[in-house]
Amino acid sequence: MNAPDKLKRTANGLDLERIRADFPILKLKVNGKPLVFLDNAASSQMPQPVIDRWVRYQTTQHSNIHRAVHHLSEVATAEYEVARKKLQAFINAKEDREVIFTTGTTDAINLVAHGYGRKFIGRDDEIVLTTLEHHSNIVPWQMVAEEKGAKIRVVPVNDRGELIHEEYLKLLGPRTKIVCVGHVSNALGTINPIREMIQAAHAKGIPVLVDGAQAVPHMKLDMQALDCDFYAFSGHKMFGPTGIGILYGKAAWLEKMNPFKGGGDMILSVTFEKTTYNAIPYKFEAGTPNIAGTIALAAALDYLSGIGMERIAAYEHELVAYAHEALATVPGLRFIGTAQEKAGVVSFVLEGVHPHDMGTVLDYEGIAIRTGHHCAQPVMERFGVPATARASLALYNTRAEVDALVQGLHKVREMFA
Ligand SMILES: Cc1ncc(COP(=O)(O)O)c(C=O)c1O
């Protein structure tokens, strides 16, 4: 049965057929089969309103921003700043100047590693990371640690892939200068208890950076309630385009930090003797930004908000639970990551089959999953596997698509197991 045949309204009233119709790429056939796109943690697809907004910007509003007095420059600047305000509202930041446009999560974390780390971290200081981090929340901190003579401390996980809270608390000491933790693990789907982690760090005066790349598309966020110091995410994982991302930072920190990149727009005045930096957020937005991407991302926020993040979270929660149930029926399948709280991701291995072979056979069936280490090699090492297969779900995925994956895995077994 084709995936869309089994579509119906979900219990909380989401009209999946209509939602799927918003995403033109979902009509594709791959290898003659309807596309079943289960690689959303890597990059999700764009709905028509986001594509339309991008085209409208390019065809009627494009100009460089913050620079000229002519009509198009004023329009583009205004739209860019409207996008900032929409992002502020979407994550409930206190002020719009706490929203910095970057090229993605990686860029946002590097901004903090360089802007905060190189200024506030010194010899023998400690940076607390977790076993679950994506490489982009490890490597920038290693670079700072190496340069400054600081140490990396790592929070371990239990066999379900959950951070061990008591071990985390033990790592928070007088030399800890920052805690950097993912909100949701891209390799396992674990939702980390970041609220408790932030409270524990703040009780000792330690700031916290949250890598939210895998959380933002799946749940409602509230920066003020969370009280984190930094929060990083990417547009292309939340129905927006590539090349645009966000760093949320508390104004008090951003004001104290050094700029990460130098160039146009981030200055107030330049002489060969001295440069005076612009106010935040512009201090961190050197050069011509991704104006079209920013404006299209704002359209993605409108799209998500139009459906409602609570409804999206409820539907996806149900779908992830269904995926676990359905996949558990495949003989020889072992889940990697069975945390109580999960979002978006199901990671597994199949006895006697290399994940890459699994991915290739599933591709013949039009099913896109990710296989490999998912840029989280320490997680693979912890679970003693070189790679996993990862199905990552988005709002537009259905139970029928999960069933198609299960069917595909039976074919894989017939061929290899
Ligand atoms: C948890 C996590 N952090 C960071 C990143 C990096 O995001 P980007 O490549 O958009 O910078 C990813 C991408 O997969 C991710 O899953």
Distance CA 126, CA 191 (A): 24
284 contacts 103 by C-beta, under 8 angstroms? no
Ligand 1 close to Cβ of residue 190 (< 6 A): no
- What pLDDT score was predicted for residue 4? 42
Confidence of residue 1 (pLDDT cuts 50, 70, 90): very low
pLDDT tens for 8-47 read 567 677 899 999 999 999 999 999 999 999 999 999 999 9
234 φ/ψ angles, rounded to the nearest 5 degrees: -120, 140
Ligand 1 close to Cβ of residue 153 (< 6 A): no
202 exposure class (CB count in 10 Å sphere: 0-12, 13-18, 19+): middle
Taking residues 258-283, report their average pLDDT: 95
Q: Catalytic residue numbers?
A: 375
Q: Among 105, 138, 233, which is best to mutate for testing ligand 1, by the most ligand atoms less than 8 A from CB?
A: 105
Distance CA 400, CA 183 (A): 28
92 exposure class (CB count in 10 Å sphere: 0-12, 13-18, 19+): middle
200 contacts 257 by C-beta, under 8 angstroms? no
Q: ∠76-79-85 over CA atoms, to 5°?
A: 145
Listed as own residue / partner, the contacts of 66-72 with beta carbons closer than 8 Å and 24 or more positions apart are 66/265, 66/282
Looking at the CA of residue 42, tell me the nearest atom of ligand 1: 14
Q: Which amino acid is at 88?
A: Q
Q: Among 234, 342, 379, which is best to mutate for testing ligand 1, by the most ligand atoms less than 8 A from CB?
A: 234
Closest C-alpha to ligand 1, atom 9: 106
101 φ/ψ angles, rounded to the nearest 5 degrees: -85, 130
Taking all residues of the chain, what is their mean pLDDT, rounded to a whole number? 96
pLDDT tens for 90-123 read 999 999 999 999 999 999 999 999 999 999 999 9
Tell me: pLDDT of 2 over 60. no
Tell me: pLDDT of 204 over 60. yes
Taking residues 184-193, report their average pLDDT: 98
134 contacts 42 by C-beta, under 8 angstroms? no
Tell me: pLDDT of 403 over 60. yes
Cβ count near 165 (within 10 Å): 14
pLDDT tens for 338-377 read 999 999 999 999 999 999 999 999 999 999 999 999 999 9
**Rounded alpha-carbon distances, angstroms, from residue 282 to 77, 164, 395:** 13, 39, 34
Q: Which residues share a beta bridge with 276?
A: 269
Taking residues 132-151, report their average pLDDT: 98
- What pLDDT score was predicted for residue 11? 66
